[in-house]
Amino acid sequence: MFATIVSFLLMGIAGRELSSEVGPAQTVAFRNIICLVILAAILTVKGWRLARTAKPGRHLLRNTIHFASQFGWFYAIAHIPIAEVFAIEFTTPIWTALLAVLFLGERMNPARIAAVVLGFTGVLVILRPGATVIDAASLAALAAAFGYALTYAYTKNLVTTDRPLTILLWMNAVQLPLGLAITGAGWVWPSAPLWPWVMVIGIVGLSSHYCLSRALAYGDATVVVPIDFARLPLAAGVAWMMYGETVNIYVFIGAAIIFAGVWLNLRRG
């Protein structure tokens, strides 16, 4: 789980570094290219039969949503404090619980109702509508969290027939053309100091998903998910050291409320 936290933190830092020269769509495209190279090497050893799927349409829809979510996430990383992006992203399990009730037929019990209410309350505390102007980047982060929840619902269906490598391959293969199409003639080759960050964003793009799946395989979600919330203070500390970013107390209060909702849903939902 520590490797998962480090991977997500490095992705945020790499996204911020690249944002000085590269747009969100191109950042996602770089990530896809590097991931595809790594996956091609793995599949050459394990066998390309793993590239086959019986659900290409679902992969296409899932990864179009996931691409839009990543676009919003990297846009937010470029414009608001990294810790604030992570805090808003923590609402993903709340959205997932709500979508499971609406589309997967799962029951809305009192614990889930309380979790959703706490999640929305936490977001309101972080964004403080009325007290401050809610900017586009904060809304992009919130939309990304909702989009990630949608992709989790699709993933839940895909894992019944497809292997993790298959899902990762299709994710990057579908998203790369989207990133290239949106970037179009605006493609920019980064300056030399940024190329290490290009490599980082591709590598951690795979390691974050792999390490999280392994953590959930070996440990109960009620243990793994709370540990993931350690990303927030770590991100705040690293962003302060690297960029001089300060995070207001409302981000931590809101994140704590969201965490309470997630914890309640995991324990009783």
pLDDT digits over 74-127, tens only?
Answer: 999 999 999 999 999 988 888 888 887 777 777 778 888 888 888 889 888 988
Average pLDDT of span 166-186 = 94
**3-state SS class at 229:** coil
CA distances from 5 to 36, 50, 212 (A): 23, 28, 9
Nearest to 26 by CA among 183, 172, 140: 183
Q: Is a pLDDT exceeding 70 seen at residue 156?
A: yes
pLDDT band (50, 70, 90) for residue 155: confident
* Residue 33: strand, helix, or coil: helix
Closest among 140, 158, 176 to 67, alpha carbons compared: 176
> Tokens 């969201």 identify what position?
258
Query: What single letter denotes the amino acid at residue 195?
Result: W
Whether residue 170 has pLDDT greater than 90: yes
Residue 210: pLDDT band by 50, 70, 90 thresholds? confident
Structure tokens of 200?
């980082």
167, 56 Cβ separation under 8 angstroms: no
What one-letter code names the amino acid at 134?
Answer: I
What is the distance of C-alpha 259 from the center of its chain?
Answer: 16
- Inter-residue contact 171 to 66 (CB < 8 Å): yes
Q: Is the pLDDT reported for residue 2 higher than 70?
A: yes
- pLDDT computed for residue 185 by the predictor: 87
Q: In the numeric block, which tokens belong to residue 237?
A: 């500390």
Q: pLDDT value at position 41?
A: 95
Rounded mean pLDDT of the chain? 87
Q: How confident is the model at residue 247 (pLDDT cuts 50, 70, 90)?
A: confident
Which has the closest alpha carbon to 177: 65, 33, 70?
33
pLDDT band at 230 (very low <50, low <70, confident <90, very high): confident
Choose between 267 and 248: higher pLDDT: 248
Average pLDDT of 193-206?
A: 94
Does residue 68 surpass a pLDDT of 90? yes
> Is the pLDDT confidence value at 176 over 90?
yes
pLDDT at 195 over 70: yes
Give the three-class secondary structure for 133.
Answer: coil
What mean pLDDT do residues 147-163 have?
Answer: 85
pLDDT (tens digit, 9 = 90+) per residue, 132-153? Answer: 667 899 999 999 999 998 988 8
pLDDT at 174 over 60: yes
Q: How many CA atoms lie within 13 A of 178 on its CB side?
A: 23
What total number of domains does the chain contain?
1
pLDDT digits (tens, 9 = 90+) for 213-227: 676 666 665 556 667
Mean pLDDT of 165-182: 94
Residue 221 tokens read as 């979600």
User: Between 198 and 91, where is the model more confident?
Assistant: 198
247: containing domain = 2-268
